[in-house]
Amino acid sequence: MAAPDRSAGGGGRKMGWVDILKRYGLRGTVDLSAERVGPLGAAQLSELLKHNTTVQGLDLRETGLGAEGCTKIAEMLKTNKTIRHIDLASNAIEDEGATAIARAIAHNTTLAKLELQRNGISAAGAKYMSASLRVNTTLEYLGFAFNGFGDQGATYLAEVMAGVNTTLKHLDLGFNGVCVEGARSLAWGLRENHWLETLELGYNGIMDRGAADIAEAVRVNTVLTQLGIPANGITDAGARTLSTALVMNQTLVQMGLSSNNIGDEGARDVAEMLCTNSTLETLYLEENDVTIDGEGANALLRVLHQTRSIKPLKQELQLAFMMAGHKRLGQGSWAHVLDPAICQYIVKSAAYQKDRDIQFYPKTEGMGA
């Protein structure tokens, strides 16, 4: 829902956001980000949305809700049946507000994406959220970054990953003070999980020991496609354990390792892995200790020139090539000008090549290790 003109016309006062919503109706995505909503406005908004059937998204970033306002929104979520995405980031809802939202999603059967970044939620709030996720059957994305719930909070969320929840597919836990113990718990959850597709753990402190645990989980995991662990104090040793695991992994498509302490030796290990692994397409190694003209960089450059990732040919193209080789149907195919033998070869190989994206420029001058 685009923001309408706030002018009331005729020299009257400017319309407030409540007046705008009442006049123009509520539909699509209601964007109130950075508005002065506060607890009172949250109560008004909740009344408008309790039984609304036309709003699918609600953006309340930086609206001064606090725990009180968040509780009002949570009450609305218990009855609303159409909102699929809600953004409550940067509202200082803390554990009280997180608990209210957690209780709401235990009953809500529609919400698919929930963003709670930058809200001062501790391990206690993470515990309530984890308990609700055990019974929730619709939430696919949870943005929980920039809260600082530490290893204990990560352990609570790992229990969800390893438990009965089968719908959560994307989990962002960056900037939360997760260290070695939290990484070990998350690795256990990842080994037991068969549904999570994206895990973001950037800017924590898992170090090489935590990376080794995550690597062991990645080695046996068959679902995860994106893993982000930038700025975690990972050195060449951690890069080696991750590379060893990725030789066996056949599902991870993207991995972020930027802003760590990986040098030329670690880069060489990564390059060797890429010669065997044909699934990983995108790799971020920026802001590490890889020297721009060293052995590690040269090894990665050779990989870029020598290896490509393979993806299956689209089914409609396979069908077109098969038709082209048919005596009667081939005349109606756009590919009939090709030699039938060539068409059969294309169908048999059924693949095309795609260049990999590997970024590994060194640390910016003046940045610490």
What mean pLDDT comes out for the span 160-189?
97
Q: 203: Cβ–Cβ under 8 A, 6 or more apart, which residues? A: 174, 175, 230, 231, 232, 259
Interval 61-72: pLDDT, tens: 999 999 999 999
- Judge if 207 and 112 occupy the same domain: no
The answer to the question of residue 159 being in a domain is: yes
Which value, to the nearest 10 degrees, does the dihedral of the CA atoms of residues 329, 333, 335, 340 take?
0
- Domain extent, residue 35, equals 21-141
Q: What is the pLDDT of residues 224-262, one digit of tens each?
A: 999 999 999 999 999 999 999 999 999 999 999 999 999
Q: What is the band of 8 on the pLDDT scale with cuts at 50, 70, 90? A: very low
Q: Are residues 189 and 302 in the same domain?
A: yes
pLDDT value, residue 11? 40
In this prediction, residue 342 carries a pLDDT of: 52
Residue given tokens 């753990």 in the structure block: 201
Q: Within a domain: residue 334? A: no
Confidence check: pLDDT of 131 > 80:
yes
**86, 111, 141: which is the final residue of a domain?**
141
Q: What is the pLDDT of residue 3?
A: 46
| Residue whose C-alpha is closest to residue 98's, from 63, 62, 149, 48 | 149
Tell me the whole-structure pTM to 2 decimals: 0.84
Whole-angstrom Cα distance, residue 22 to residue 19?
A: 5
- Same domain? For 156 and 180 the reply is yes
According to DSSP, the β-strands at 55-59 and 28-31 are: parallel
Residue 6 inside a domain? The answer is no
352 band by pLDDT with thresholds 50, 70 and 90:
very low
The pLDDT value given to residue 369: 38
| Whether residue 172 is found in the same domain as residue 270 | yes
Looking at per-residue pLDDT, the higher value among 134 and 323 belongs to 134
Retrieve residue 292's tokens.
């721009």
**Rounded to the nearest 5 degrees, what angle is found at the Cα of 282, between the Cα atoms of 281 and 288?**
140
The number of beta carbons lying within 10 Å of the beta carbon of residue 111 is: 22
33: in domain: yes
Strands 351-354 and 309-312: antiparallel
Q: Tell me, what CATH number does 108's domain have? A: 3.80.10.10
Q: 155-166 as b/e, with b when 16 or more CB fall inside 10 Å?
A: bbbbbbbbeebe
Pair (137, 203) in one structural domain: no
Q: Both 40 and 121 in a single domain?
A: yes
**Number of structural domains in the chain:** 2
In a domain, 354, yes or no: no
pLDDT category of residue 341 using cuts at 50, 70 and 90: low
Residue 328 has pLDDT above 60, yes or no: no
Residue 214 domain-assigned (yes or no): yes
Residues 177 and 308 in one domain: yes
pLDDT at 52 over 80: yes
In a shared domain, residues 113 and 198: no
Q: How confident is the model at residue 4 (pLDDT cuts 50, 70, 90)?
A: very low
Tell which of 116, 141, 166 closes a domain. 141
On whether residue 231 sits in a domain, the answer given is yes
Does residue 12 belong to any structural domain of this protein?
Answer: no
Does one domain contain both 123 and 253?
no
β-partners of residue 282 are 254, 357
Q: Note whether 175 and 131 are same-domain residues.
A: no
Shared domain for 79 and 108, answered yes or no, is: yes
Write down which residue in 95, 119, 141 finishes a domain: 141
Tell whether 170 and 304 lie within a shared domain. yes
